[in-house]
């Protein structure tokens, strides 16, 4: 596996790959890689001739400086994991390489990027679109792989791809969970053992809400989830939204969509750590 730090080297390498008619899979990451990322990389390796994994902790998508500062940085072990998964290139540029000038571009795809994470983390999806559009332009991938754990992110990136006309396929990949049910996330490393056990409660409640929803309204199901999670002393719901899985608009009745999804953000523990998850009804 080649570790590439600058854009010109990346482009030269990929130009020759494309000249040979080979397909390129891109897995964008911010590092601190875990089994969830590994599943994306393995899938890309199975479906493409060449797999590029970007490792870049993108400052423009963090609206909370503390969150950026304490985000785990583990480049060496990340590269070991990528080698084991069969990745071809790890692209790990510096902030100056990616943003030699401040990126002033504004992306706006309402309601997709305005609700839920968009409302609670202003500017977050603008930063995601800034970096992902740059990566798409530099790598020109055949396919790009994203974890469904960030359910809303995939919906926003799909809108951006349509808007800017990138000729590529977005491949959503299923959430990978710990045995306890907790969705794998780089932020889980920041939880103590006790907090980790508490965090597993989030998915348990989401699962309990599936049979509950069968004979209760959207509003009652919403309340059930919020109350059950908030009843745990280490957990506090920031928002729970039951939405149409395509438009991400709130629904009031189950009959409104054939793709109802519940999206949740919960603060866990003392620090506290912000965790997201979702469930399909
Ligand atoms: O999902 C992530 O890790 C990030 O939002 C992404 C897509 C790598 C952009 O920085």
- Could you read off the pLDDT tens digit of each residue along the chain, which spans 281 residues? 999 999 999 999 999 999 999 999 999 999 999 999 999 999 999 999 999 999 999 999 999 898 899 888 999 999 999 999 999 999 999 999 999 999 999 999 999 999 999 999 999 999 999 999 999 999 999 999 999 999 999 999 999 999 999 999 999 999 999 999 999 999 998 999 999 999 999 999 999 999 999 999 999 999 999 999 999 999 999 999 999 999 999 999 999 999 999 999 999 998 899 999 999 99
Ligand 1 pocket: which of 26, 30, 92, 95 to mutate (most atoms within 8 A of CB)? 30
Ligand 1 centroid to 252 CA: how many Å?
31
May I ask the CATH class of domain 186-280?
A: alpha beta
* Residue where the block lists tokens 């401040």: 102
pLDDT reported for residue 86: 98
Strand locations in 13-73 (E): 24-29, 50-55
Q: Which atom of ligand 1 is nearest to the CA of 54?
A: 8
Kindly report the CA angle at 64 between 227 and 177, in degrees rounded to 5?
50
pTM for the model stands at: 0.96
**Do 230 and 268 contact (CB within 8 A), yes or no?**
no
Sketch the domain layout of the chain as residue ranges.
2-173, 186-280
Ligand 1 centroid to 250 CA: how many Å?
24
Is residue 37 among the annotated active site residues? yes
- DSSP 8-state symbol, 2: E
The fold adopted by the segment(s) 2-173 is Rossmann fold (3.40.50)
* Residue where the block lists tokens 């994470």: 117
Ligand 1 centroid to 227 CA: how many Å?
31
pLDDT reported for residue 271: 87
**Do 29 and 55 contact (CB within 8 A), yes or no?**
yes
Ligand 1 centroid to 129 CA: how many Å?
9
Pocket of ligand 1 (CB under 6 A): 28-30, 58, 61, 128, 131-132, 150, 153
Ligand 1 centroid to 84 CA: how many Å?
21
Q: Which atom of ligand 1 is nearest to the CA of 150?
A: 1
Cis peptide before 111 (omega within 30 of 0): yes
Ligand 1 pocket: which of 34, 58, 126 to mutate (most atoms within 8 A of CB)? 58
Q: 34, 37, 124, 201: which one is catalytic? A: 37
Where b means 16+ CB within 10 Å and e means fewer, 222-260 reads bebbbebbeebebbebeebbbbbbeebeebeebeebeeb
């Amino acid at each position: 596996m080649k570790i590439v730090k600058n854009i010109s080297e990346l482009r030269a390498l990929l130009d020759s790959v494309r000249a040979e008619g080979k397909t390129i899979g891109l897995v964008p990451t911010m590092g601190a890689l875990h089994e969830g990322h590994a599943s994306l990389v393995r899938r890309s390796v199975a479906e493409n001739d060449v797999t590029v994994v970007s490792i870049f902790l993108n400052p423009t998508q963090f609206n909370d400086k503390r969150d950026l500062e304490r985000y785990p940085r583990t480049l060496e072990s990340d590269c070991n994991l990528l080698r084991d998964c069969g990745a071809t290139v790890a692209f790990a540029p510096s902030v100056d390489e990616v943003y030699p000038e401040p990126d002033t571009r504004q992306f706006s795809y309402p309601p997709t990027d305005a609700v839920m994470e968009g409302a609670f983390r202003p500017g977050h999806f603008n930063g995601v679109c800034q970096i992902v559009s740059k990566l798409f332009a530099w790598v020109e991938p055949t396919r790009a792989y994203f974890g469904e754990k960030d359910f809303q992110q995939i919906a926003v990136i799909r809108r951006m791809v349509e808007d800017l006309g990138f000729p590529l396929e977005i491949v959503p990949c299923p959430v990978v969970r710990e045995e306890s049910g907790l969705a794998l996330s780089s932020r889980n490393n920041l939880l103590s053992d006790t907090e980790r056990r508490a965090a597993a409660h989030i998915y348990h409640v989401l699962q309990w809400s599936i049979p509950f929803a069968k004979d209760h309204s959207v509003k009652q199901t919403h309340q059930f989830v919020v109350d059950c999670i908030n009843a745990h002393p280490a957990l506090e719901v920031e928002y729970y939204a039951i939405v149409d899985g395509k438009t991400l608009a709130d629904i009031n009745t189950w009959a409104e969509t054939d793709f109802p999804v519940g999206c949740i953000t919960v603060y866990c523990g003392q620090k506290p750590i912000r965790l997201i998850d979702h469930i399909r009804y």
